[in-house]
């Protein structure tokens, strides 16, 4: 027994002094070799260093590979034939060239050009992401380099110091098959030319050149030249008690306009409630997006005008009040997933209540009455100024008679604001009285009173 115990002790000591392999537990079984704090920290430090070296080497070699892949190409760009052209229409020809310059001898297997146009809608509806696309243009062609020999496989060798040009050209679809370029909050319509430079055993290089498309929209049609109007009224209550009503009746001479034109508004407003109301008008843009069977509408105010305050029991009238169409894109009505519409909103701001709103639809086009009258104005401008100089010397016309004035001037309201005026959902029902600063009262010693023709000092109470 003693000999066996001594042998066991010697064997146990030999296990403790000899190096233990990784992940091998000690003979006592109490802990693993990796559980020693000093050894574990050292291994973690070495592991972090190895990971850092590996990531650094990977990034370095990746950058070196990318530089080696792209250093052979100096210039690769698309140049349109008419860079000053702002937009294209259906049926127009889009042409240009692709310029290529290289730093080193480069073998090119093919150069392709694509003409692409698509509409895309993307927005979030809760946790769901709604996406929808519609394609309106797709053209693809493989270009050949003139006066340049090709190999048996069709590849071309490009040498440094030379400038190579690949010409291209294609026609857009006819009018009615395209939609105008557009960029909105939740979608866009983009057209662009895309070039691909394919090289053997090298990644394909790509470049893009966008261009604008504007479909003509003529507003000189009988439907858009006819007048339109409407009438609205609203009953006002205060704490569920009837408080009269507000009504408006408005009319415009036509529905079709172009940017820069004035819209003449003829309207009548009547206020029989106890509050002070304000008539206003604004041009509204309505953007409708459709994706995955869902619809999202975004409304935007573009320009606005306002009238005078109308107090209780009074009325007011607009006779030819104008609002100018700002610089905006034409109406877009032919796209399946994006629709842009405009409207003239005539409304009455009622404190403490919802607005009384009348919307008259508008169509913003590219050719309007201004383009139709250009020829007439150009003919009038050809007449010399000397022959027209007598026009400025004519006597001014007489003012109209007071009997011809049909509007009651007593109904005119002051131009100064009488209450808080903003386009929120709610506004104060009571107006704030302005604070007029009064001078302080005089001292008692300065107060005098005329009594029997003589001034005397008032007694101090």
Q: What is the pLDDT of residue 406?
A: 44
**Most confident range, picked from 114-118, 173-177, 441-445:** 114-118
CATH of domain 73-210: 2.60.40.640
DSSP element (H, E) containing 287: strand 278-291
The average pLDDT across 349-368 equals 91
pLDDT at 344 over 60: yes
- Rounded CA-CA distance 122/124 in Å is 7
What is the pLDDT confidence band of residue 80, given thresholds at 50, 70 and 90? Answer: very high
pLDDT digits (tens, 9 = 90+) for 292-335: 989 999 999 999 999 999 999 999 999 999 999 999 999 998 89
Which stretch, 10-19, 111-120, 197-206, has highest mean pLDDT? 111-120
Distances (CA, A) of 331 to 120, 255, 259, 304: 18, 12, 11, 19
Q: What is the mean pLDDT of the chain?
A: 76
Its sign, for the CA torsion 21, 26, 29, 32, is: negative
Q: How far is Cα 131 from Cα 188, in angstroms, rounded to an integer?
A: 12
| Span 417-458, pLDDT tens digits | 444 445 554 444 333 444 444 455 655 555 454 444 444 444
The CATH-assigned architecture of domain 222-371+407-411 is: Sandwich (2.60)
CA distance 240 to 310: 23
Handedness of CA 86, 90, 91, 95 (dihedral sign): positive
Cα distance between residue 27 and residue 419, in whole Å: 92
The tokens describing 391, both together, are 């026009």
Helix (H, G, I), strand (E, B) or coil at 450: strand
Q: How many angstroms separate the CA atoms of 209 and 96, rounded?
A: 10
Of 72-81, 152-161, 216-225, least confident by mean pLDDT is 152-161
Question: Which residue, 251, 260, 265, is CA-closest to 322?
Answer: 265
Asked, colleague to colleague, whether 73-210 and 222-371+407-411 share their fold, the answer is: yes
Taking a C-beta distance cutoff of 8 angstroms, is the pair 266, 347 a contact?
A: no
Query: Which pLDDT does position 131 carry in this prediction?
Result: 94
Domain-wise residue ranges, the chain? 73-210, 222-371+407-411
Of 187, 378, 193, nearest to 288 by C-alpha is: 187
* Cα–Cα distance for residue pair 155/291, rounded to 1 Å: 44
């Amino acid at each position: 027994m003693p000999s066996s115990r001594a042998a066991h002790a010697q064997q146990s000591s030999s296990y403790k002094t000899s190096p233990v392999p990784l992940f091998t537990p000690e003979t006592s079984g109490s802990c693993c070799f990796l559980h020693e704090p000093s050894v574990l920290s050292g291994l973690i430090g070495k592991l972090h260093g190895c990971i850092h070296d590996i990531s650094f080497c990977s990034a370095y070699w990746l950058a070196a590979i990318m530089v080696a892949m792209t250093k052979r190409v100096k210039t690769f760009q698309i140049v349109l034939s008419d860079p000053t052209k702002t937009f294209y229409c259906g049926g127009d020809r889009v042409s240009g060239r692709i310029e290529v310059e290289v730093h080193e001898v480069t073998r090119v297997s093919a150069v392709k050009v694509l003409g692409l146009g698509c509409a895309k809608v993307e927005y979030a509806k809760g946790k769901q992401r709604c996406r929808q696309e519609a394609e309106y243009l797709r053209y693809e062609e493989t270009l050949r380099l003139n006066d340049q020999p090709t190999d048996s496989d069709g590849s071309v060798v490009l040498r440094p110091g030379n400038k190579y040009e690949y010409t291209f050209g294609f026609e857009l679809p006819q009018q009615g098959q395209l939609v105008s370029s557009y960029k909105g909050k939740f979608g866009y319509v983009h057209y662009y030319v895309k070039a691909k430079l394919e090289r053997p055993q090298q990644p394909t290089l790509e470049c893009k050149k966008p261009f604008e498309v504007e479909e003509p929209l003529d507003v000189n049609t009988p439907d858009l030249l006819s007048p339109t109007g409407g009438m609205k009224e609203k009953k006002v209550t205060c704490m569920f008690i009837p408080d009269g009503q507000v009504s408006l009746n408005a009319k415009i001479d036509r529905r079709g306009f172009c940017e820069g034109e004035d819209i003449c508004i003829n309207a009548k407003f009547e206020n029989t409630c106890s509050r002070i109301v304000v008539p206003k008008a604004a041009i509204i843009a309505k953007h409708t997006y459709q994706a995955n069977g869902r619809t999202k509408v975004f409304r935007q105010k573009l320009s606005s005008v306002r009238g005078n305050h109308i107090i209780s029991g009074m009325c007011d009238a607009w006779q030819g009040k104008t609002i100018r169409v700002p610089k905006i894109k034409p109406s877009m009505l032919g796209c399946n997933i994006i629709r842009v519409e405009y409207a003239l909103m005539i409304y009455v701001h009622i404190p403490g209540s919802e607005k009384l709103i009348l919307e008259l639809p508008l169509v913003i086009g590219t050719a309007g009455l201004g383009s139709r009258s250009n020829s007439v104005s150009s003919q009038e401008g050809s007449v010399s100024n000397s022959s027209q100089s007598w026009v400025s010397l004519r006597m001014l016309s007489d003012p109209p008679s007071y009997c011809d004035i049909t509007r009651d001037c007593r109904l005119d309201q002051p131009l100064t604001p009488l209450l808080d005026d903003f386009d929120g959902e709610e506004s104060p029902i009571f107006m704030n009285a302005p604070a007029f600063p009064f001078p302080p009262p005089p001292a008692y010693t300065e107060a005098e009173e005329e009594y029997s023709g003589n001034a005397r000092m008032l007694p101090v109470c």
